[in-house]
Amino acid sequence: ERLKSMPVSVPRSQAQSHVLWPEIDRITAEQLHYARQGVGEGVWELFAEDGEMRMYKREEEVNGLVVDPLKAVHTVKGVTGFEMCHYFFSPDYRLDWETTIEQMKVLEKVSDDTMIFLQIHKRVWPASQRDALFWSHLRQVPDSRDPDAQNIWIVCNHSTEHHSAPEKSNGKYIREKSNGKYIRVFLTVALVCQTMIEPPKNGAQITRDDLTCKITYCSVVNPGGWAPASVLRAVYKREYPKFLKKFTHYVYDQCKNKPIRF
């Protein structure tokens, strides 16, 4: 009788017992769905292009603040989707490729695949400096009827709260008058990566030459307080392409002489 009430499957992630888990599970699934939708319906506007990389935006404002959603696609040879996501998720490499950060701290390691980060970003003149507090979750895309789905990984980052780093609560006006030092941004970011394998001839071993990684990166950042629209748009038009090029080159370089990890 007792056996009947026991769970039949092993939990996929140790983070399942965390209070944030329902939110992490829901937002990650939503972001995966959103990332898989194309950019063809005419609402997305191409703003940057470089080799295989294409970056699209939609101009949107909320309460007078620019929150333009961004969607980028890229294709990189010689690496797997897992490798891309691993380097994006792990705090060990973040400062190697992330050029908008001044400081980064892991506030809580929920499990091997889920962490809570606090980051202080570089200041953009003439706006106040920003910080970001978010959970980050890495997972292999589970069960799907699509056989290729086994080769898909996602990292999802989403703003949250944490007792060890409360947002300054003394009101926007005061914060912007230099009392509170940082304005907190709100972000939802997803990196989705799929490994495509060109089967080698004569059943030979798969090498890095047989691999292609298809990348989709989606981001929405709410600046959280006043920042001039023109400056903000100029900054992200420069920073997003810079990020995706630098990050993917970095992962390629890190992986090229190492065994393939799926």
Closest approach of ligand 16C to the CB of residue 167, in Å: 14
C-alpha distance across the termini of the chain, in Å? 40
Coil/strand/helix, residue 72: strand
Residue among 29, 239, 250, 254 that touches ligand 16C (CB under 6 A): 239
Name which of residues 95 to 114 contact ligand 16C (CB under 6 A): 98, 100
Query: CA separation (Å) from 139 to 109, 136, 160, 217, 220?
Result: 15, 10, 19, 15, 20
Residue 65 near ligand 16C by CB under 6 A? no
Segment interacting with ligand 16C (CB under 6 A) among 7-15, 51-59, 182-190, 252-260? 182-190
- Binder of ligand 16C out of 84, 132, 154, 156 (CB under 6 A): 132
Interaction between residue 236 and ligand 16C (CB under 6 A): yes
Binding to ligand 16C by residue 184, rule CB under 6 A?
A: no
Return the bridge partners of 76, or none. 213
According to the binding rule CB under 6 A, does residue 53 interact with ligand 16C? no
Report d(CA 244, CA 128) in Å as an integer: 25
Contacts of 232 (CB under 8 A, 6+ apart): 66, 124, 127, 223
185 contacts ligand 16C (rule: CB under 6 A): yes
Q: Does 35 bind ligand 16C (CB under 6 A)?
A: no
d(CA 224, CA 132): 10
Residue 120 β-bridge partners: 103, 131
String of DSSP letters for 111-153? ETTEEEEEEEEPP-TTSPPEEEEEEEEEEEPP--S-GGGGGEE
Segment interacting with ligand 16C, rule: CB under 6 A, options 11-19, 35-43, 146-154, 219-227: 219-227
Measured at CB, which residue is nearest to ligand 16C? 121
Query: Residues interacting with ligand 16C, by CB under 6 A?
Result: 98, 100, 119, 121-122, 124, 127, 130, 132, 157, 185, 187, 189, 221, 223, 227, 232, 235-236, 239-240, 243
